[in-house]
Amino acid sequence: MLASERRQIILEHLENSGRVRVSELTEILDVSRMTIHRDLSQLADEGHLEKVFGGAVARQSSDKDGCAMCGMAPRERTAFVLQCADGSQLQACCPHCGIMLLSARPQVVSALAADYLHGRMVNVRTATFLVDPDLTVCCTPTVLCFQDRDEAEKFQRGFGGKVMDLVNTQSYLRASMTL
Ligand SMILES: [Zn+2]
Ligand SMILES: [Zn+2]
């Protein structure tokens, strides 16, 4: 397992329970305590968590604004940033909210979303979306962003859902909201 995958798993545990223990992580990830301590230190340096005795706790994110659509705290894995004509930015918690905002706010000129697998920010106009798969990541129907259509299709084989471009995702969400 790559260090980045391990850290992703640690963050997911932290998100679910608000706190992680070194002893529990060594068991789940099958690595030494030292490795876990190194991971936690790096995640702490990056501002993802705070180390406490025997583990770590979620960082209180007072400096972050909520999603402009639903108010939920934005997540790194599903980050979505909208650029407005006046130079300001809006944040959404996930592509579901981001794409809703894109449809609702005429002042939005462009948007970037995190690739669900790799985390890098990609232009939503060229991205591929997996809509309504069998997993709930943030808001429903779930919308996941992929840079590569191939990867979206691979994900679809495991989790179902529909592979769409931005325009089709916008109409799908509009339709699902007016039901
Ligand atoms: Zn939201
Ligand atoms: Zn969301």
Domain 3-58 has CATH 1.10.10.10: yes
> What is the reported pLDDT for 99?
97
Q: How much distance in Å is there from the Cα of 177 to the middle of ligand 1? A: 14
CA 137 to ligand 1 center in whole angstroms = 11
Distance 163 CA to ligand 2 centre (A): 18
Please report which ligand is nearest the Cα atom of 66.
Answer: 1
Q: Which ligand is nearest to the CA of 68?
A: 1
pLDDT along the chain (179 residues), means of 10: 93 90 96 96 89 86 71 90 91 96 91 96 97 95 97 97 97 85
The percent helix, strand, coil of the chain (3-state, each to 5) is: 40, 25, 40
Please, which residues have CB within 8 angstroms of residue 10's CB and are 6 or more apart in sequence? 20, 25, 29, 36, 39, 40, 43, 56
CA pair distance 7, 17, nearest whole angstrom: 15
Between CA 13 and CA 66 the distance in angstroms is 21
Which H helix or E strand runs over 22?
helix 22-29
Evaluate whether 90 touches 123 at the Cβ level (below 8 Å).
no
Give the DSSP letter of residue 147: S
Q: Which ligand is nearest to the CA of 65?
A: 1
Distance 95 CA to ligand 2 centre (A): 7
Global confidence as pTM: 0.64
Delimiting residues of CATH 1.10.10.10 domain(s) in the chain: 3-58
Q: What distance in angstroms lies between residue 81's CA and the mean position of ligand 2's atoms?
A: 12
What confidence score (pLDDT) does residue 64 get? 52
pLDDT score at 16: 87
Ligand (nearest to CA of 72): 1
